[in-house]
A and B are shown apart, each in its own frame.
Chain A
């Protein structure tokens, strides 16, 4: 008589294969999530050091309300020399260890020495941070007596002081301007294409070209905007040129998405309305647009995220690397408002990450800007995703 349990899980090649593949796929999925989370985490942790601070009001208001400035740093020469000396000592010791292959006793001695030096460096570094002075350019100019040049080493870092308010304002203006243009044109075009026009080859051709234009790289739109607005129409690098370029970039996306959501409304709605004697416009106004609105809204929110996030189209149509005036300051007449270049967050990130070196002083500006920008764009995107999930549940037919 067999005592074996007949229901015991049997080992089979197929099952092993299946679980191996499941684990491979699972690994792929979670690896992606891990990578993205690391990116978010890195920027969040390092950026929040710039944006938040430990004392009241907990938010670094200077960073969010001021213009970018040059940062002046004064560090005590004495401490810096000490640190440099110690670093040389460590290097020398490491070279000895590597090249001469000393006996274990000497090796241990050297290693413990290196450790002691490293500790000393840490202490000194802390001291350096406590004794240094940081000034923004404005503050530096107002100083009655700058720190003694004999005692302190003076170094400057472009863009690293002050804040990013003009960039935030510029991005908001660009988004508002371009979305106004894109939505007015895009939604009306979609209504015409889905409600008024007669289906046929021409319409299909137009639809096809719109879908294809949605996939054209953003830099090509930038090129187009530069050639048309900046040079041909002679608007120079200006807010208006940037708004139009961005608007034309999202226009195909908005038209395609709006038409999609208009089309998804059952024909019965339209027929019922017309059967009750409504005119075409009344039908559209009361029975089509209200139901299509959530879809249009979602797609336009996604469009906002895209417009706010793009750098390439505004690089040479609207963005200045540095402009400390706010867009509404010092205007002689009203049209100057539209024909001025602005700072924008994405371009500012590009400038601070490619044009200035990476070190402890520039890092706070770089990460702070990245965090603010990512926060804005992802906030908008999140709204769109949440909206879509909610709408999907609400409207089902």
Chain B
């Protein structure tokens, strides 16, 4: 028996030391396992955290939309939109005026002669622009009224929060009977304030001051705590919330609709007069055409009056807002307005179109150049060329984006503007371009960033085409070009498409280049300009986050809106990645 024990101890014994019941191997395994767990937790935390911060946006946006309706801002906006129609008419008239002076200029009139010629029609132009003077004043005053209602509501919400906060504090103090650091600071401040009021009793003031110093040094008793609660209660009692009587206030706004209808009818009369004596350009058929169009537009504008009246009549502050509006208003919103004194609007479309426009321009250059270079290097270049070009293009991908952005500001933007300004190119309709920093500047630079990605992955895809395919094609008498276009390229197509998608993913997520070079104007580019649109300044999803994140109030609706934009970017990149993997899997050419 003892011998067995002895042997057991010596030969087969498990000599390893144990820690927490695990031997060395298991400990190591658990270390690695734990770090894997930590990494995965962290990476899932990113997703969760983005959602946690972002999702509150929809609730806040809903509240904001509700307040927008309840405080009759929406009502005023209907009135405003009619006035916008008039302003558009006025802009059209101005464009006729510029057209007129341009035509006269082309006919060789001097500056003073043009002025004389236009002066004849000047009265018409001026009278027209004055037609909405009273209407504008009316709108300004009614808007002020509506904003006043909203301000009061916002103030009430803030006061409510403040009083709730004090309530919580009192409850905590009564329960725990303890003063923490910030409480002590607040209390000592209050005591000092109180001591300042005892001017006539210097002794009393002095004792209060001593008490405040003692409290700062964390010496206090129950009496101090009670006094603090008293202070808080007086603070709370000072908060007087006068609830907004939305009904009467809004009724006051609506009551002014009579005034609006009156002004509208005056405007209608005046416009009828305009219709009776329109601008006549007997000498210039082009201008006459514009003038006729102007009259048509006036008719259209007048016919919109009835609709405005209808929507004003139907409008009611109590009409419920569907909860999904908070979501749809964000996804389909055409404006992104922040920190305005009217209504803050968070709409994704201007940013999304900007991002897509810039990426589109980048891909327009990156696809032909990237794929072309990949075909050249993989199929046509000599070995020496290959060994030089491949690392060089990979090297380009390491250029930091902020350096490329800086290059765009310092060199490329200027170059583009100067280039578009040379006389030789003046036949191009949208040259010379007015903005140095625009979608094209950013797109051109982003192409340089997307090319290495597209090139490297394309080259891999071309490389993966089995050699026997190429040999078979040659054996059948195909030349190099036929082999490339008819055998190798179609075989590698799935890889090439996925490379392009990944290039797109890289471009749409790029921040610094677009922030520095895209011009940062938050507006949906005007696609009616045709190709010239690519020279419009735009703002992008990445750019807006980078630009505005530093200045937002933590937890505000604006802060959450930026997180939602981040989530959209997150999903776009996931979608792009998923698509590229799916394409490769689905259209894999087997080399059997």
User: CB within 8 Å of B: which residues of A?
Assistant: 14, 17-18, 21-22, 24-26, 28-29, 31-33, 35-36, 39, 42-43, 184-186, 188-189, 191-193, 195-197, 206, 209-213, 215-224, 226-228, 231-232, 248, 251-252, 255, 279-281, 305, 308-312, 315-316, 346, 349-350, 353-354, 358, 363, 366-367, 370, 373-374, 377-378, 380-382, 385, 389
Contact = CB atoms under 8 A, between A and B. Distances in A.
Contact of A280 (B29, B39, B481, B581): B29
Nearest to A33: B392
Most chain B CB inside 10 Å of its own CB: which residue of A192, A349, A389: A192
Interface in B381-436: 381, 389, 391-396, 398-407, 409-411
B512 A212 contact: no
Given A186-B39, A206-B40, A219-B509, A29 B377 contact: yes
Interface residues of B, number: 83
Given A223-B50, A281-B29, 13 more contacts: A25-B380, A39-B399, A39-B407, A188-B32, A210-B43, A215-B505, A226-B549, A227-B563, A310-B400, A312-B542, A358-B409, A373-B400, A381-B398
A121 to B, nearest CB: 20
Contacts of B411: 42
Contacts of B49: 224, 227-228, 232
A311 B402 contact: yes
A192 B36 contact: yes
B126 interface: no
Contacts of A21: 481
Contacts of B364: none
Given A42-B411, A312-B512, A251 B39 contact: yes
A354 B516 contact: yes
Given A185-B35, A224-B46, A252-B43, A216 B570 contact: yes
A231 B554 contact: yes
B562 interface: yes
A336 to B, nearest CB: 19
Contacts of A305: 398
Nearest to B44: A209
B573 interface: yes
A374 B399 contact: yes
B578 A212 contact: yes
Contacts of B36: 188-189, 192-193, 197
> Chain B contact residues: over half helix, strand or loop, or mixed?
helix
B380 A43 contact: no
A223 B566 contact: yes
A262 B588 CA distance: 26
Given A219-B511, A279-B25, A311-B511, A251 B554 contact: no
Nearest to B555: A231
Contacts of B289: none
Given A25-B373, A231-B554, A382-B395, A349 B402 contact: yes
A385 B391 contact: yes
Contact of A378 (B399, B550, B554): B399
Contacts, number: 246
Most chain A CB inside 10 Å of its own CB: which residue of B368, B376, B380, B398: B398
A309 B451 contact: no
Given A370-B403, A374-B400, A18 B481 contact: yes
25 contacts: A17-B481, A21-B481, A28-B368, A33-B393, A185-B39, A188-B36, A189-B36, A215-B574, A216-B570, A216-B573, A217-B511, A219-B569, A220-B46, A220-B50, A220-B509, A220-B566, A224-B46, A309-B400, A309-B401, A311-B511, A315-B549, A350-B402, A367-B410, A374-B400, A385-B394
Contact of B31 (A188, A248, A358): A188
A395 B582 CA distance: 32
B577 interface: yes
Contact of A281 (B24, B50, B399, B455): B24
B546 A43 contact: no
Contacts of B404: 39
Interface string B322-347: 00000000000000000000000000
Given A185-B38, A189-B32, A197-B36, A374 B403 contact: yes
A223 B563 CA distance: 7
Given A215-B573, A346-B402, A189 B509 contact: no
- Sort A-B residue pairs by CB-CB distance and give the 3 closest, nearest first: A217-B509, A381-B398, A28-B372
Interface in B80-94: none
Given A219-B566, A370-B403, A378-B398, A316 B393 contact: no
B546 A315 contact: yes
B279 interface: no
B403 A212 contact: no
A200 to B, nearest CB: 14
B142 interface: no
A185 B404 CA distance: 32
Contacts of B550: 315-316
A252 B380 CA distance: 36
A14 B573 contact: no
Contacts of A220: 46, 50, 509, 566, 569-570, 573
Contact of B577 (A186, A212, A222, A358): A212
A211 B577 contact: yes
B392 A191 contact: no
A188 B36 CA distance: 7
B448 interface: yes
Contacts of B505: 215
B125 to A, nearest CB: 27
A28 B399 contact: no
Nearest to B373: A29
